[in-house]
Structure 1
Amino acid sequence: MTDMKATPEEPIACVTVSADAGFLPPVVEFVKQMTRQLGLRDAEHVDQAVELVCMNVVEHAFGPEEEGTLDVQVLRRAGLVVVAVEDQGLPFDYKRLEDGEDRTVLEVLHGSFDETRFVNLGRRGNRVELLKHLPNTDVRDHLPEDEHRRALEATAVPEVIPLEIRMMRPEESFELSRCVYRSYGYSYDWDYIYYPDRIRELQEKGLMISCVAVTPEGEFVGHLAITLDHPDSPVGEAGQAVVDPRFRGHHLFPRMKTFMAEWAGEAGMYGLYSEATAVHPYSQRGNLHLGARETGFLLGYIPASVSYKQIGEEREGRRGSVALFYMRVKDEPEREIYPPAPYLEAIRRVVEHNGLRRVIDEVHDPALQPSRMSVEVRQDHNLAFMRVDEPGADLEELVHGHLRDLCLHHVDCVYVDLPLSHPATPGAAAGLKNLGVFFGGIIPEAHPGGGDVLRLQYLNNIEIQAGDVSTASDFGEELLGLIFRQNTLP
């Protein structure tokens, strides 16, 4: 997400070195010592991955007569240490992976770091980011094992008990983590929330804004957050919803979402987007009741490991899907959008149904720059995002190469984010349907360059049937039908 989302970061160190293998050992040792100084206890595992990335640049990015250089950077982000390697040579050769060479590259990187991101910077070259979470305290190691069981077995609390809905303070992050553990045990889908230090840092940096439901005794029994790509983002994602089992008849979710929508409007934001499970219709109904509307469906987004036993839903090891929703809190600016022809019908229906202030336009033969994009793999969900900043003439080739690599590493689902207000998007993305990439949804005002994100999707031998996906409205059913009709190779 780095190039796309302008993630706040603190530069720690940068070394520029000639692309010569003989110079790499001291650079790798320097990075190892810097990451240890920043708090990584297992920094000894860092050197192998950093050396592997640097050697790839030395061996494959430059020709025999070229005198190239590479920049090795150490950065600090919220809860993370980042090692980035940049060069202006040839991009990573994915053909070698397809032919069976270097099959262990990503395995080594994933074994040493929590996330790996490949960024195509266009004329500025290439960037590989290696991200590692700092070893913060896990609340699950410090709470009684039966706290979750006791909450599940406890008698429901009467609705007459007054609950205060208020903004959460960063220093209250431990109470939030405890509320999550009490409500969900070990099974909450966002592991970050079990680490109070990470949550506090996100709150302090303005990247996570939360409200909580609090009992008269000060106990947290509900939570909802707005997560932001940047502190001044015009839209945010409403999520990390938590309701204590003892208080599930108190209508806390609608009360908290209304509270946060009012806060977002006062903060000058345009709206909130969210992902509601489509394994059942209940969450979608709640969003519709609050005035949110569907903007898409992401098939297979939920890992098969996520259980819905409490509502009687069993998927027998199959991935689940989510519905995308948008809740307007303030009129967004009027914009021109440029839909790629294969996805025009779905885009038009979403724009009309949501009342978005958009004018569908066409551009004939726009000047195309080299593409700029990044690839982020979410190992916990076994899915990947390709985020396109500048769509260019080489976009189809780049997406094809990345899809090939991700499929070789058995990533289940891949999502491609495109700037819908960029005049080059129709020409650059028109051929993606030939790769099996189909419509996913629209996220209004979410692109860092301004305007909407068009999210496309690709399934890697994952079968999702229409009966596996629940809807909660006539439009949801219509939109899902459009998506399933697109989910076929030409």
Structure 2
Amino acid sequence: MTDIKATPKEQIARVTISADAGFLPPVVEFVKQMTRRLGLRNAEHVDQAVELVCMNVVEHAFAPEEEGSLDVRVVRRAGLVVVAVEDQGLPFDYKRLEEGEDRTVLEILHGSFDETRFVNLGRRGNRVELLKHLPHTDVRDHLPEEEHRRTLEATAVPEDTPLQIRMMRPEESFELSRCVYRSYGYSYDWDYIYYPDRIRELQEKGLMISCVAVTPEGEFVGHLAITLDHPDSPVGEAGQAVVDPRFRGHHLFRKMKTFMGKWAADAGMYGLYSEATAVHPYSQRGNLHLGARETGFLLGYIPASVSYKQIGEEREGRRGSVALFYMRVKDEPEREIYPPAPYLEAVRRVVEHNGLRRVLGEASDPALHPSRMSVEVRQDHNLAFVRIDEPGADLEALVRSHLRDLSLHRVDCVYVDLPLSHPATAGAAAGLENLGVFFGGIIPEAHPGGGDVLRLQYLNNIEIQAGDVSTASDFGEELLGMIFRQNTLP
């Protein structure tokens, strides 16, 4: 059977049906066949998951006398096939997940798809997105383990060895994956990087911009990327740092980040944010040396399975944390911000320390219309993001409901992203502190609606000790202390 050729973000099919269970079987079968045509060879449980989501709409989204309908879409994104189910009925009822057979709904969805997102569209209804990675080639299945072992055992390369720092081309994605495997074996935290086809797609669509450090023989020995939500995003995340063990001590991270900072400035971006491990202080020191500054700490962001044996960590069995950094490459616009009162002091200190052009605006009461938000569960890290596009009067109730549901399914950490420049944020989110939600950090200019993201955090009965979190500056120590004082959960 010939695969359908589709560009990422292309809608392949859309089916609209009445909210009647009798119409579901042919639609579910159609979706199953379409996903197979797009490359999901092992899609045995796709139909079961799609049927569950559609049946939830049929049974619970509309009143008995209401003539509702639902849209089922099949979409191709970079490296992904997405099945989206949309309706304009009642929001997904999370309370039903606490009892009876519905306790297994998310387990079935997570077992069939790699990610599940619940999106509240406000007046425009609801959308559930089921995301599945395409089965691209994994270099770990084709490269000998000896290649990794040889690299680890090799002697250090002299510091005067000439290296070229340049932009990476999409067709070089296999060399990047090979460099990662050679340097880290199976243990690199971002699994995507082992799949050259996925990397190439992200590069071709402008969602991942990379530089590489290359030897005179053409061998990749370093890598740093800027990942973007959209090709025209005003800020990007600097990450996926890779340094071949033979070239440690050559200051490749500093050289590559300086190189990418210049690229970002030339591209008209405002800056780069990054997540530096706080398991040790070395990555934070590297960012500070480049002029980046702390904007927060995310407790428990790193799974306990990620090890840093080379620096003698002592957090066995506990999750690790990250420090948020921002490196400005161009002055951002002046904006009014509306931080909720419980987080005002932390926001003020971050804004002041980073020299952000922000002034406190006059807060307004939350609008009467429903909040617009989405929930994304990242199974590989066992954490979730609750992203608020527009806060409404129901924000606290919705966040409480999502926290209860995610806690029930043993998600360790939940991060709540708020639009800091939205006038309703101050009032709508003021009560989140009572739910155990505390300050995490600020990501300047990263909200899709414009302005900064205020990231809050919630820990679901996991242990994070102050001694597990390293800092690299006086301000980092001050900010981390504020965050631990706000975390009032036992």
Q: Output the aligned Cα RMSD.
A: 3.2
Aligned-residue offset at 1:5: 24
SS at match of 1:422: coil
Contact 2:8 2:79 in 1 (8 A): no
Output the CA distance in 2 between the equivalents of 1:324 and 1:301. 11
Q: Residues 196 and 134 from structure 1, CA distance in 2 versus in 1: closer, same or farther, beyond 3 angstroms?
A: same
Unmatched 5+ stretches in structure 1: none
Q: Residues 473 and 409 from structure 1, CA distance in 2 versus in 1: closer, same or farther, beyond 3 angstroms?
A: same
Output the CA distance in 2 between the equivalents of 1:88 and 1:375. 18
Q: Residues 159 and 261 from structure 1, CA distance in 2 versus in 1: closer, same or farther, beyond 3 angstroms?
A: same
Output the CA distance in 1 between the equivalents of 2:281 and 2:360. 31
1:28 maps to 28
Contact 1:7 1:230 in 2 (8 A): no
Output the CA distance in 2 between the equivalents of 1:342 and 1:238. 30
Contact 1:33 1:43 in 2 (8 A): no
Aligned-residue offset at 1:269: 0.3
After superposition, what is the alpha-carbon deviation per residue over 1:92-139, rounded to whole angstroms, capped at 9, x for unaligned? 111112234401001110111110000001011111000000010001
After superposition, what is the alpha-carbon deviation per residue over 1:371-398, rounded to whole angstroms, capped at 9, x for unaligned? 0000000000000000100100001111
After superposition, what is the alpha-carbon deviation per residue over 1:196-245, rounded to whole angstroms, capped at 9, x for unaligned? 00000000000000000000000000000000000000000000000000
After superposition, what is the alpha-carbon deviation per residue over 1:335-390, rounded to whole angstroms, capped at 9, x for unaligned? 00001001000000000000000001222435343100000000000000001001
Q: Residues 310 and 257 from structure 1, CA distance in 2 versus in 1: closer, same or farther, beyond 3 angstroms?
A: same
Output the CA distance in 2 between the equivalents of 1:287 and 1:450. 25
Contact 2:120 2:127 in 1 (8 A): yes
Give TM-score, length-normalised by structure 1.
0.98
Q: Residues 411 and 4 from structure 1, CA distance in 2 versus in 1: closer, same or farther, beyond 3 angstroms?
A: farther
SS at match of 2:103: coil
Output the CA distance in 2 between the equivalents of 1:167 and 1:2. 34
Contact 1:308 1:314 in 2 (8 A): no
Aligned-residue offset at 1:43: 2.4
2:366 maps to 366
Q: Residues 6 and 456 from structure 1, CA distance in 2 versus in 1: closer, same or farther, beyond 3 angstroms?
A: farther
Q: Residues 185 and 83 from structure 1, CA distance in 2 versus in 1: closer, same or farther, beyond 3 angstroms?
A: same
After superposition, what is the alpha-carbon deviation per residue over 1:418-473, rounded to whole angstroms, capped at 9, x for unaligned? 00000010111011111000000000000010000000000000121211111000
After superposition, what is the alpha-carbon deviation per residue over 1:138-170, rounded to whole angstroms, capped at 9, x for unaligned? 011111111111100001010111000000000
Which stretch shows the higher mean deviation, 193-202 or 59-68? 59-68
SS at match of 2:217: coil
Q: Quick check: 1:156 aligned with 2:142? A: no
Q: Residues 458 and 277 from structure 1, CA distance in 2 versus in 1: closer, same or farther, beyond 3 angstroms?
A: same
Q: Residues 3 and 57 from structure 1, CA distance in 2 versus in 1: closer, same or farther, beyond 3 angstroms?
A: farther
Contact 1:368 1:424 in 2 (8 A): no
Output the CA distance in 2 between the equivalents of 1:89 and 1:4. 33
Output the CA distance in 1 between the equivalents of 2:279 and 2:320. 6
Output the CA distance in 1 between the equivalents of 2:288 and 2:116. 36
Contact 2:136 2:198 in 1 (8 A): yes
Contact 2:5 2:38 in 1 (8 A): no
Output the CA distance in 1 between the equivalents of 2:390 and 2:197. 35
Contact 2:117 2:376 in 1 (8 A): yes
Output the CA distance in 1 between the equivalents of 2:7 and 2:79. 12
Q: Which has the higher contact order (CA 8 A, sep 6+)?
A: 1
Contact 1:276 1:284 in 2 (8 A): yes
Q: Residues 375 and 2 from structure 1, CA distance in 2 versus in 1: closer, same or farther, beyond 3 angstroms?
A: farther
Aligned-residue offset at 1:179: 0.1
Output the CA distance in 1 between the equivalents of 2:210 and 2:170. 9
Aligned-residue offset at 1:316: 1.1
Which stretch shows the higher mean deviation, 237-246 or 310-319? 310-319
Q: Residues 5 and 272 from structure 1, CA distance in 2 versus in 1: closer, same or farther, beyond 3 angstroms?
A: farther
Output the CA distance in 1 between the equivalents of 2:61 and 2:446. 33
Which stretch shows the higher mean deviation, 358-367 or 456-465? 358-367
Q: Residues 7 and 97 from structure 1, CA distance in 2 versus in 1: closer, same or farther, beyond 3 angstroms?
A: farther
Output the CA distance in 2 between the equivalents of 1:2 and 1:265. 43
Contact 1:4 1:388 in 2 (8 A): no
Contact 1:280 1:469 in 2 (8 A): yes
Contact 1:435 1:489 in 2 (8 A): no
SS at match of 2:327: strand
Output the CA distance in 2 between the equivalents of 1:378 and 1:441. 20
SS at match of 2:123: helix
Q: Residues 279 and 472 from structure 1, CA distance in 2 versus in 1: closer, same or farther, beyond 3 angstroms?
A: same
Output the CA distance in 1 between the equivalents of 2:319 and 2:143. 31
After superposition, what is the alpha-carbon deviation per residue over 1:56-76, rounded to whole angstroms, capped at 9, x for unaligned? 111111111111000000000
Contact 1:61 1:90 in 2 (8 A): yes
After superposition, what is the alpha-carbon deviation per residue over 1:171-214, rounded to whole angstroms, capped at 9, x for unaligned? 00000000000000000000000000000000000000000000
SS at match of 1:102: helix
Output the CA distance in 2 between the equivalents of 1:464 and 1:177. 33
Aligned-residue offset at 1:7: 13
Aligned-residue offset at 1:311: 1.1
Output the CA distance in 2 between the equivalents of 1:412 and 1:2. 42
SS at match of 1:3: coil
SS at match of 2:107: helix
Q: Residues 6 and 483 from structure 1, CA distance in 2 versus in 1: closer, same or farther, beyond 3 angstroms?
A: farther
Contact 1:3 1:119 in 2 (8 A): no
Aligned-residue offset at 1:3: 28
Aligned-residue offset at 1:314: 3.1
2:40 maps to 40
Output the CA distance in 2 between the equivalents of 1:46 and 1:119. 20
Output the CA distance in 2 between the equivalents of 1:34 and 1:27. 10
Q: Residues 236 and 389 from structure 1, CA distance in 2 versus in 1: closer, same or farther, beyond 3 angstroms?
A: same
Aligned-residue offset at 1:478: 0.5
Output the CA distance in 2 between the equivalents of 1:314 and 1:15. 53
Which stretch shows the higher mean deviation, 3-12 or 434-443? 3-12
Output the CA distance in 1 between the equivalents of 2:177 and 2:97. 41
Q: Residues 287 and 3 from structure 1, CA distance in 2 versus in 1: closer, same or farther, beyond 3 angstroms?
A: farther
Contact 1:275 1:324 in 2 (8 A): yes
Output the CA distance in 1 between the equivalents of 2:4 and 2:306. 29
Output the CA distance in 1 between the equivalents of 2:391 and 2:269. 27
Aligned-residue offset at 1:91: 1.0
SS at match of 2:119: strand
Output the CA distance in 1 between the equivalents of 2:368 and 2:186. 48
Contact 2:366 2:391 in 1 (8 A): no
Give TM-score, length-normalised by structure 2.
0.98
Output the CA distance in 2 between the equivalents of 1:373 and 1:367. 14
Output the CA distance in 1 between the equivalents of 2:409 and 2:141. 32
